[in-house]
Amino acid sequence: MSPKDEQGYLILAVNTAETDYVTCAVKLAQSLRRFHQHCKICLLTDKPVQLSEFDYVEILPRGDLGGFHNDWQCWLASPFHETIKLEADMLITSPIDHWWHLLRHRDIVISTGCRDFYDNTSQSRFYRRAHDSNSLPDVYNAVTYWRISETAQEFWRWVRIIFQEWKNIRGVLKFPDQDASTDLVYAMAADCVGRDKVIMPFASYPRIVHMKRHVVPIQGTDWTQELVWENLDDQLRIQTMAQWGCVHYHIKDWLIREQQ
């Protein structure tokens, strides 16, 4: 696709029987607009929808391939020359437009590592067994920057190949997931392209706050039921701690329940 705009945020959201990802994307777009009123936001989904939160609504060019397998279509569908892809089940809790200046030193940057809600770098490797066992980089697809370039094209080509050939490729991995997970596919693609070209492991940006059980010190699986949180107009606080950057809230219906 030829770019329609210079730079913008892309949110991939395809509803499933269990999860209303499009509403998650709307909430994410609203949180972005709180800090960046005039930023461009594109929703990438499977059906035409009219939602005022988005400047562009693009339809998956190869159709709904199911779950994570749609991910590589972001490259084909983004209407921007420079794109920051954001996972739908996140909130933006502070200005992030400085990311553009920091990230455009590379053709593509995948976020590395994650934080807990105290802003400590997570030491938990519970969800990273396959990454660690296969010496893959600790990448999180939740925030991914790219601009139209040969490096990005090469990276996305590998993402597509790995997703399409997952049944064959998983055989060479230790402890592979049954189904391809985007983080693992990105990590493998990063190695194919050259990890030094696509990650900045020592950078403190862009990094996400992850709310999964083994990253944050909760007893159960649903942090929204266990921790004290305050979702205010311009600030999200968890256990009284103000959040910065992206919060990957993981409990998909949290904000929908809050609205009700």
Residue 17 touches another protein, criterion: CB under 8 A: no
Tell me if 86 sits within 8 A of 9, measured CB to CB: yes
Residue from 241, 251, 252, 253 touching another protein (CB under 8 A): that is: 241
DSSP helix/strand/coil, 28 = helix
Residue 80 or 229: the one with the smaller Cβ distance to another protein is: 229
Specify the stretch interacting with another protein by CB under 8 A; choose among 122-130, 148-156, 193-201, 232-240: 232-240
Binding track, positions 90-129, relative to another protein; x by CB under 8 A: ----------------------------xx----------
Compute the distance between CA of residue 208 and CA of residue 6 in angstroms, rounded to an integer.
25
Q: Which residues are CB-neighbours of 47 under 8 A, at least 6 positions away? A: 59
Residue 118 or 126: the one with the smaller Cβ distance to another protein is: 118
Tell me if 255 sits within 8 A of 27, measured CB to CB: yes
Residue 232 touches another protein, criterion: CB under 8 A: no
Residue 64 or 119: the one with the smaller Cβ distance to another protein is: 119
Specify the stretch interacting with another protein by CB under 8 A; choose among 143-151, 161-169, 179-187, 240-248: 240-248
Determine the distance from the C-alpha atom of residue 103 to the mean position of all C-alpha atoms in its chain, rounded to a whole number: 15
Please give the residues from 184 up to 223 whose contact with another protein meets the rule CB under 8 A: 216-219
DSSP 68: G
Residue from 195, 205, 244, 252 touching another protein (CB under 8 A): that is: 244
In terms of residues, how long is the chain?
Answer: 260
Residue from 105, 172, 202, 228 touching another protein (CB under 8 A): that is: 228
DSSP string, 156-183: HHHHHHHHHTHHHHGGGSSS--SS--HH
Tell me if 122 sits within 8 A of 114, measured CB to CB: yes
Residue from 51, 76, 227, 251 touching another protein (CB under 8 A): that is: 227
Specify the stretch interacting with another protein by CB under 8 A; choose among 9-17, 142-150, 184-192, 233-241: 233-241
Residue 251 touches another protein, criterion: CB under 8 A: no
Residue carrying the six token digits 């990802």: 21
Contacts with another protein by CB under 8 A: the residue count is 15
Specify the stretch interacting with another protein by CB under 8 A; choose among 29-37, 77-85, 192-200, 238-246: 238-246
Compute the distance between CA of residue 38 and CA of residue 15 in angstroms, rounded to an integer.
27
Shortest Å distance, C-beta 239 to another protein: 5
Cα separation values, 163 from 111, 155, 187, 188, 189, Å: 20, 12, 12, 11, 10
Q: Which helix (H) or strand (E) holds 75?
A: helix 73-77
Shortest Å distance, C-beta 118 to another protein: 6
**Interaction site with another protein (CB under 8 A):** 118-119, 216-219, 227-228, 235, 237, 239-242, 244
